[in-house]
Amino acid sequence: MSWSKLKQNLESFLCPALDGRVEYRATGYRYLPDKAGICYITVDKKNVLNMNDATNLIRWYQTELEIKNDPDIQIPISHEEMEAVRQETKGKVPEDRLKVIVRSRKSSEHAKELLTAQTSLSKSNFIVVANKFLSTSIEESIESHDILLNILALVDRRVGKKRILNMSEKMKLKHPIVQYFYELRRSTL
C-alpha cells in the first residue's frame, strides 16, 4: 500500500476531536528508492514520536536503572503477589520488606518490557506496523506490547469514552509516549 493511501486510512480512524491535531508524516528519499524514509507522528504541528529526534519531548530510557528510578512510574502491587513472596520466604520477612521485594521484582520485569518495546519501536518500520494495525482488532492493538500499536489504538475513534476511562491503571505501566497519547485522548473526552 502506498504511503498516501496508508496515511488516508489511518487518519480516517482518528477520533473526531483529534482530527487535524494528530498527523502522520513521512519523509521520502526521491533518489534513493531502496532507502525508507522516516515516519513520525505530530500533535498540533509538533513532532512527538520520532526516536531519531534529539529534541523529543518524551523521555526515552537508556537503562533499566533509569526506569526503576523514575518517580513517574507507579507500579501497583496485588495481594496475590504479596502472598506468593510470603510463601516463597516462608513467612520470615516483615510486611514492609515484602512490599519492597515485590515492587523491586515487578519494576525489573516492567523495565525489561519497556526497554524491549522501545528497542523494537526503534527498529520497526512504521508502515509495517500501521498495516498490522489496520488488519488486527482494536483489542489486540491495545493489549499489545508494541508501543506504536498502542498509540494508534488510543487515537482511534473505535475506542470509546468508557474504555478510555477504564484503562487508566493499565496506562501507568506503559511507556511515557503511550501515556502521553492516553492523556491527549482523555483531554478530548
User: Is the CB of residue 16 less than 8 Å from the CB of residue 157?
Assistant: yes
> Are 131 and 175 contained in the same domain?
yes
Q: Give the residue carrying C-alpha cell 496475590.
A: 80
> Are 129 and 182 contained in the same domain?
yes
Angle at 81 between CA 78 and CA 87, to 5 degrees: 140
> Are 50 and 69 contained in the same domain?
no
Residue 98 forms part of a structural domain: yes
Residue 114 forms part of a structural domain: no
Residue 115 forms part of a structural domain: no
CA 50 – CA 58 distance, rounded (Å) = 10
CA-based nearest residue to 185, from 8, 26, 171: 171
Residue 101 forms part of a structural domain: yes
Q: What is the pLDDT of residues 152-189, one digit of tens each?
A: 999 999 999 999 999 988 888 888 889 999 999 999 88
> Are 135 and 180 contained in the same domain?
yes
Residue 141 forms part of a structural domain: yes
Q: What is the mean pLDDT of the chain?
A: 82
Residues 6+ apart with CB under 8 A from 76: 169, 172
Domain that holds residue 29: 3-57+124-186
Q: What is the pLDDT of residues 113-139, one digit of tens each?
A: 877 777 666 555 778 888 899 999 999
User: Is the CB of residue 60 less than 8 Å from the CB of residue 72?
Assistant: no
Report the pLDDT averaged over residues 85-105: 87
pLDDT at 64 over 90: no
> Are 74 and 100 contained in the same domain?
yes
> Are 7 and 52 contained in the same domain?
yes
Backbone φ/ψ region at 125: left (φ over 0), alpha (ψ -120 to 50), beta: beta
Q: How many domains does the chain have?
A: 2
> Are 161 and 73 contained in the same domain?
no
